[in-house]
Amino acid sequence: MHKYSLDCIFIPDSINCGRRPLKINVAIIGASGYSGAELIRILSQHRCVTMRKVFANTSAGKRVDEVYPLFQKRIGLTFEQYSVDAVDGVDLVFVALPSGDAMNIVPSLLQKGKRVIDLGGDFRLKEVSLYEKYYKRNHVAKEYLAESVYGLPEVNRELIAKANLIANPGCYPTSALLSLIPVLKHRVISPTHIIIDSLSGVSGAGRNASLGLSFVEVNESVRAYKVGLHQHTPEINSVLEEVTGGEVRLTFVPHLIPISRGIYTTIYAELRDETSEHDTLQVFESYYADAPFVRIMKSGIPEIKNVVNTNYCDIGVRVDLDNRCLIIMSVIDNLVKGAAGQAVQNMNIMFGFPEEEGLLS
């Protein structure tokens, strides 16, 4: 007989007429990658979840603790070859595959009545033409784009609670959107002169080996990449225009830096009117008053080391009145708030669990 925490027992609500389950069963597809391993780590400490299946075709047959020894004596699962029939008995499926793969399997999961959180980019953009331009492939599940919900909890909490398909935001967009949405909605900055400068650790590129991501190539260097062509540009722009209801014009430049994990984003935007740092901080504090994972720094500068291995986004601001410029700095862990942690946060909202459950250790 299972011993359940009372924190996982819920009363009926308007979304599901029955009682909430004491626990839900979940599966992870693509569980051997960095984001998949981070999901395993977080879900293993979640009191309201049982991991039933972990799929990783390239590692099928290996125990999880063979591929990731940190899970010894913690995780007794074995990676399996994925098939849609293997998810029977599962309530929610996390898809942690590279963009381009999820759209081939998500439709069959939804048709089986599974709720899905996709950590890739296949369902983030509503416009097929934008997806095909920036991801450089045809979209084979475009009929599901309209029903996907963009999984930024601080903005879409109510829609997330009702969704069957969540498009988990990209890591760069998470840091940029959380920084920009409050000041755009409150008309603190102009929507047409925005520069986003982001730096990411190398884990953001995934676990597959490549020469350009080797230690010797990356160490003691910084380089920009996909300048003007990055697939997260239309994601950031589309969400901002949807949230604000107007045109937004921005320049986004990502950089690779020699650290394992973390994103540092600095944003430069034109102020509409004179404002103080204090008043600008109040805009952020008011907007995120009920957001458990956004921390506004009243003094000091955000640092990646303060968010690594956490689901927090730290935001700081500086006002340059001489140049009518607002400077916003934000930091996240790209594998947690930028991927697996945010996915678990979305799951908590979908199933009525406490939003912080599993994410505070």
**Active site positions, annotated:** 171
Let me know: does 53 contact 80? Beta carbons within 8 Å. Answer: yes
Cα separation values, 180 from 19, 185, 256, 331, Å: 38, 9, 22, 13
Contact 232, 173 (CB under 8 A): yes
Rounded to whole angstroms, how far apart are CA atoms 92 and 241? 30
Q: Which residue is it, tokens 């008043």?
A: 279
User: Which residues, 6+ apart, have CB-to-CB distance to 173 below 8 Å?
Assistant: 232, 235, 236, 239
Instruction: Match 């956004």 to its residue by tokens.
Output: 294
Closest C-alpha among 263, 262, 258 to residue 214: 258
* H or E element, residue 29: strand 24-29
Instruction: For 281-345, give the DSSP string.
Output: HHHHHHHTTT-TTEEE-SSS---GGGTTTSS-EEEEEEEEGGGTEEEEEEEE-TTIIIIIHHHHH
Q: Which residue has the tokens 């109510």?
A: 158
